[in-house]
Amino acid sequence: MKLSILLACIGIVLATRHCHDDPEPPQTYVFSNTRSSGPVQTNWTPKYSACHHASEPLDKPRVMPQPNTTAWSKWHFDAVNQNNPNESIAFTFVLGTEYALPKEGSKTGLVTVNVMFSFADGTTKEVKIDSGEGEAGKVVFQTTQYGSTATWGNTGTRWSGNGLADFPTYAVEIESEEHGIHGTLELVSTSTGRYPCVTVPYLSENTTLQTLSGLGWTNQIPAAKAIAHFTIRSDERRKSTTLNFDNGLGYHDYLFGDRPYFSAVKLWQWGHALVTSSSSTASYSLIWFQAADIASKTFTGVYVEEVGKDAEAQCADGDNELLKLEDNDAGTYVKIRIGSDLTVDLVIKKQEVRPGRWVGPALATIEGSEWTGTGVVETLKSH
Ligand SMILES: *[C@@H]1O[C@H](CO)[C@@H](O)[C@H](O)[C@H]1NC(C)=O
Ligand SMILES: *[C@@H]1O[C@H](CO)[C@@H](O)[C@H](O)[C@H]1NC(C)=O
Ligand SMILES: *[C@@H]1O[C@H](CO)[C@@H](O)[C@H](O)[C@H]1NC(C)=O
């Protein structure tokens, strides 16, 4: 551990001894499935506590009173079977129009959910379920102390997060007769939450959630154990496929913006991985992003956690040593250099799930030893 980090930790321990945690009381938000214009409030500031604790749920909604036709919010959950990365699941719950979020946004209203499954044989199933009009179509969103629960109108989807602990448990459920999809994804967090460039204990009055101008990001669950049980009716064969695994790698974050996604972002590349040592039970959870704003200015961020031990998060502007990404037909190469004391070289084999998204086996060299695991990589580009 670097001396500066050690000193910072001692500082945190001292500051924590005499502090008073003041978590946000539970709140209920209702978002109607109707479009509106006029300005909305976007809250880019995390709630800061002298206790160096999260004093709010990291995935609470931050576009108020609700997104208009150009602002947006999306809550993302994903999971991949570590025993066979061909099997993966992604849920993206959206409050936003198709104009604000091409492909993912709602065609007619504001409330929609995108669901994707990929199967062992390499096939995929993707559906987008728009919520209905009126009362039935509205989202009811409740925050608990450190987590959230939401019912996504009448799409047949919801999530519930027990937010009482540093390591929350979330369940994402779907019951859709129309699409023949039923099941639950359970995430048991193994990492504490993080903001884009900082882990919770290092929050300060200067922390902003604005990762690049007009785009905010929080990461409630950087890594989780994921358990999946789904049955999915297959359209062609008229029979059901099941997707079951209990050794998954899970993830959950929240992104939001005050302008259409591609008015803030030209290129967004990100990914996450979990790798385990071949000679011990130690593992590393890794998250990275590299983005270009509409002026082509680049921003980079990395998060490296030795699971159950230390976590480091850092961001940088422009060309830098912190993160180098390289892509070819075989895979994505990720080089992370945090300060002078931690080096990660990671490669994620390219098994494309859909254009711009792949999930595959990961191989890492960290501090000279070999680590293996699973990774998820995504690229979003404006046209
Ligand atoms: C939506 O809200 C944002 C942020 O206040 C504002 O800049 C934008 O003009 C609004 N959009 C519309 C269509 O009113
Ligand atoms: C994963 O899917 C690919 C096709 O995309 C297939 O070639 C490969 O054998 C599958 N892997 C496993 C472990 O089933
Ligand atoms: C926050 O920013 C102010 C003004 O730039 C600076 O003086 C202060 O040291 C910063 N605080 C922390 C904790 O970084």
pLDDT tens-place string over residues 320-353 = 899 999 988 889 999 999 866 788 999 999 888 8
83, 119, 124, 351, best to mutate for ligand 2 pocket (most atoms within 8 Å of CB): 351
* Neighbouring C-alpha atoms within 13 Å toward the C-beta of 276: 9
* pLDDT at 342 (0 to 100): 84
Residue 239 has pLDDT above 80, yes or no: no
- Beta strand residue intervals within 82-239, DSSP E: 88-95, 111-118, 124-130, 139-143, 148-152, 157-162, 169-176, 181-189, 194-195, 198-199, 210-212, 215-233
Residue 273 has pLDDT above 90, yes or no: yes
Q: Taking the CB of residue 167, how many other CB atoms lie within 10 A of it?
A: 15
Query: What spacing in Å lies between the alpha carbon of 343 and ligand 3's midpoint?
Result: 28
Q: What is the spatial distance between Cα 226 and Cα 351, in angstroms, rounded to a whole number?
A: 20
pLDDT class for 138, splitting at 50, 70, 90? very high
Q: What is the pTM of this model?
A: 0.93
Q: What is the spatial distance between Cα 207 and Cα 209, in angstroms, rounded to a whole number?
A: 7
Ligand nearest to the CA of 50: 3
Strand partners, 28: 142
* pLDDT at 107 (0 to 100): 95
Q: What is the chain's mean pLDDT, rounded? A: 90
- Mean pLDDT of all residues in 308-321: 90
Query: What spacing in Å lies between the alpha carbon of 103 and ligand 2's midpoint?
Result: 27
* pLDDT at 53 (0 to 100): 65
Q: pLDDT tens for residues 64-105?
A: 999 999 999 999 999 999 999 999 999 999 999 999 999 999
Query: What spacing in Å lies between the alpha carbon of 273 and ligand 2's midpoint?
Result: 19
* Neighbouring C-alpha atoms within 13 Å toward the C-beta of 349: 11
Q: What is the spatial distance between Cα 215 and Cα 260, in angstroms, rounded to a whole number?
A: 9
Q: Is the CB of 292 under 6 A from ligand 1?
A: no
pLDDT class for 278, splitting at 50, 70, 90? confident
* pLDDT at 281 (0 to 100): 86
103: left (phi over 0), alpha (psi -120 to 50) or beta: left
Q: Is the CB of 206 under 6 A from ligand 3?
A: yes
Compute φ and ψ for 195, nearest 5 degrees: -95, 170
Percent of the chain with pLDDT over 90: 72
Ligand nearest to the CA of 67: 1
Burial (CB count <10 Å: 0-12, 13-18, 19+), residue 367: exposed
- Closest-lying ligand 3 atom to the alpha carbon of residue 204: 13
* pLDDT at 340 (0 to 100): 67
* pLDDT at 166 (0 to 100): 74
- Mean pLDDT of all residues in 247-253: 98
Q: Using CA atoms in the order 228, 234, 237, 242, what is the torsion angle rounded to 10 degrees?
A: 10
* pLDDT at 3 (0 to 100): 44
Q: Name the residue type at position 43.
A: N
pLDDT class for 266, splitting at 50, 70, 90? very high
